[in-house]
Amino acid sequence: MSDRASRYRWFILAVFVLSTSINMLDRQTLAALAPVIQAEFGLSDTQYGLIGTVFAIPYALITPLAGLWIDRIGLTRATSVAVGLWSVTGIATAFTRGFGSMLACRAFLGASEAAGIPSAGKAIVTYAKPEERAMGHAINQAAVSLGMMIAPPLATLILLRWGWRHAFIVTGVLGLLWIPLWHAVGRAPAAVAAPAGISPYLDRRLWAFGAANSLNALPYHLWFAWTTKYFVTVFGFTTADANAFAWIPPIAALAGGFLCGWASLRLVRRGMTTAGARYRACLGAAIVGLASGAVSLANSPALATGLISLGLGAAAGLSVNLYALPLDVFGESRAAFAISFLVATYGGAQALYSVLIGWTRDHYGYVPITIAAAIAPLLGCAVLRAVRMNR
């Protein structure tokens, strides 16, 4: 394949993962505005955590079905429908009037966003060569981080000028605008011919990948969904002041994704198996992620930001390699379902963690939460080591 064709593949992939940025922007806008919405609706931290749970439950349940659907009808049609649905739902959030209507909107948002990450996995396995797949997921992680970085300042700007409701309208409109953009440019040759896929349904490796992903979900969800809340609660910041710090950890997530994706790519090119390279990168990230355990000891916002950034960057780096493993093992024809299984385990874990974090914060503070977030990724690596990832 010519260099020009290769560059075009990466350009198309970059355009596609803009949908991931918009997905995360829709999702993170609530976290960025949480203190204001809690105050208006009179919600406790436990109730705020429950909002995250009702998003995560349909997200987890529907994602495997979404993966099968994407594999069946194709990437472009499936993604267009999904982006349209979650964009309209995001706009509807602007018109909520209380806890019940917010729960309903977040539940439908979770269902409609279930196709997002499986679609990205399908795009990566289509347009990236096998050794490049972790880098493909690093690009997708960059898209995640971009959405997370933009959400706090954008939401704050809109909040101060027009009120929090307009933030949801803006993010929803951005999603609707992406659909014709993808249809205009979404044509590129596949990186490699698609081999016959291995059935993943009863394969113990898929279940191991899911278990490891659910453990890594703890620090990932904690620092993406609760960072603004953490600064407001611990340091007494206003929402605007907290968001002046909250945009920084997603930069670390972007950097961690690219660093760990590059690390596994380099190891493969030096002769290591893809599975061995992915595991080595995951383990290194999990060790760095121990920084999350020290966040509660930080006596300044700057130090807390640094430690949160290390924890989130490590979780993102582990994630890009973990999400590449099902593509390595099961192939292109099963890619969306294999990735959807990991997304489902993340959603299920998020549903549990969201309400547990809120309840623990209300009763015991952040110390037990940050310690658990530090240890969980290492346990995930132990699960990966316990199974043979190559046959």
Give the pLDDT confidence of 205-235 residue by residue, as tens digits: 888 999 999 999 999 999 988 998 899 999 9
pLDDT at residue 201, as a whole number: 62
Q: Comparing 193 with 102, which gets the higher pLDDT?
A: 102
> Alpha helices, DSSP H only, in the chain?
3-32, 34-41, 45-73, 75-93, 99-112, 116-127, 133-162, 165-185, 204-225, 227-235, 239-246, 248-269, 274-288, 301-330, 335-364, 367-386
Give the rounded percent of residues in the chain with a pLDDT score beyond 90. 43
Residue 292 has pLDDT above 90, yes or no: yes
Report the half-sphere exposure of 64 (CA within 13 A, side-chain side). Answer: 13
pLDDT grade for 195, boundaries at 50, 70 and 90: very low
Give this prediction's pTM.
Answer: 0.73
Domains of the chain, start order: 3-181+198-386 (1.20.1250.20)
Residue 280 has pLDDT above 50, yes or no: yes
**How far is CA 200 from each of CA 158, 227, 278, rounded to the nearest angstrom?**
45, 36, 19
Other CB atoms within a 10 A radius of the CB of residue 269 amount to: 10
